[in-house]
Amino acid sequence: MKTQVAIVGAGPAGLLLGHLLRAEGLDVVLVERASPDYVLGRIRAGVLERTTTDLMDRLGLGARMHAEGLPHDGFHLADGERLIRIDIAALTGRQVMVYGQTELTRDLMAAAPERGLEILYDAADVALHDVEGDAPYLTYRKDGSDRRIDCDFICGCDGYHGPSRQAIPPSVGTAFEKVYPFGWLGILADVAPCNHELIYANHARGFALASMRSETRSRYYIQVPLDEKVEDWPDERLWDELAVRLGPEAAAHMARGPALEKSIAPLRSFVFEPMRHGRLLLAGDSAHIVPPTGAKGLNLAASDVAYLSEALVAYYRRNDRDAVAGYSSRALARVWKAERFSWQLTRLMHRFPDNDAFDRRMQLADLDYIASSTAAQTSIAENYVGLPL
């Protein structure tokens, strides 16, 4: 098989990129290791920046998102005693959209056939070849036979564990990494949210987050040590802990229900530079990971593919090779600022095992400063809604 652009991975980065390139008339094939059901079964991001919702609108795929998503004008930071509201709409003129990654992915998958976007699911042993030359290709196994796709470019949208980043020789790339000594235990339940906006709480016992997917479906998280298991947290224990950490105001309105999903995700900050090697271009989690505290992961995947689709279109329309060459530095400038925000908010809101009483007082002083300073709130708000492309 031959195509112009082969994309490894059909998560949000790969699907969005595929649609953006198809909309410009390019030939694209996506190769995905998992099945469609598996891709849709992953419960992940919940908050979309305007840059991400704009991309869906540009593709003409935003209708369900606008009908069912919840636009939010603000969110809260809690310090164990009070809620500090960050009024993002008043401070930045922008909102964020609460719409699950699962739903966004579903919309992109559903529109693929009618837009001529080919997605090959259940592809095993995907391998990248000759990315340094002018004729790269992919090999994989599907339905018991070995297959090959020749292309002009390979886009690595295969997440943190995928093969694309590994295809860049260690001598060419640098990985920057910070691993945090805790994870997030998440619960999804069909109960009304405890508050109409998100609450990020820093409690002496550790971080908690109250989020949602709709007016009848809630998503909550608590910080847990890395050696903790989901089985250690029966639903009632988790609801009790959330009630303590989120504080009395939220607890009073918190409805409990059986878990539809419960899982623990480790937290990591990670950036791989450069995001291009020859004709291989990385986008999304394959090139960078942020801790979920800033709600930036999916949104960074979206901004990467906005830049990447522009670069590839410039190449095919105007034979502009500089745009492809410049993709990595353009994307990384935005990536590092989102890394900074996510790292800072993670440090502000979590309990670190080696924190002493002084560190705790610093966090509380920081939160008290934020509560009293419009400048501090504006800085948080403009990062939360997403920096301009």
The residues binding ligand RFL (CB under 6 A) are 8-14, 31-34, 39, 44-47, 101, 123, 126, 157-159, 161-163, 184, 186, 265, 284-285, 292, 295-299, 301
Query: Pick the catalytic residue: 12, 193, 291, 292?
Result: 292
Told to judge if 291 belongs to the known catalytic residues of this protein, a careful annotator would answer no
Whether 2 is a known active-site residue: answer no
Q: Three-class SS of residue 31?
A: strand
Active-site residue identified among 76, 203, 296, 350: 296
Among 47, 138, 250, 312, binds ligand PHB (CB under 6 A): 47
Looking at the Cβ atoms of 12 and 247, the one nearer to ligand RFL is: 12
* Interacting positions 281-320 with ligand PHB (CB under 6 A): 292-293, 295
219 binds, among ligand RFL, ligand PHB, none (CB under 5 to 8 A by kind): ligand PHB
* Binding partner selected for residue 342 from ligand PHB, ligand RFL, none, CB under the kind-specific 5 to 8 Å limit: none
Task: DSSP for 146-215, please give it.
Answer: EEEEE-SEEEE--TTTSSTGGGS-TTT-EEEEEEEEEEEEEEEESS--SSSS-EEEEETTEEEEEEEEET
d(C-alpha 81, C-alpha 360), whole Å = 14
b/e 365-376 (16+ beta carbons within 10 angstroms → b): ebbeebbeeeeb
To the nearest whole angstrom, how small is the minimum distance from the Cβ of residue 77 to ligand RFL?
A: 16
Q: Distance (Å, rounded) from C-alpha 161 to C-alpha 44?
A: 16
Catalytic annotation present for 72? yes
Smallest separation (angstroms) from ligand PHB to the CB of 46: 2
Q: Which of residues 14-43 bind ligand PHB (CB under 6 A)?
A: none
Using CB under 6 A as the binding rule, whether residue 183 contacts ligand PHB is answered as no
3-state helix, strand, coil in the chain (%, to 5): 40, 30, 30
Q: Which two tokens stand for residue 12?
A: 């949000």
CB 44 within 8 Å of CB 291? no
CA distance 74 to 87: 4
Give the residues lining the site for ligand PHB (CB under 6 A): 45-47, 198, 211, 219, 292-293, 295
> Which are the catalytic amino acids?
72, 200, 292, 296, 384
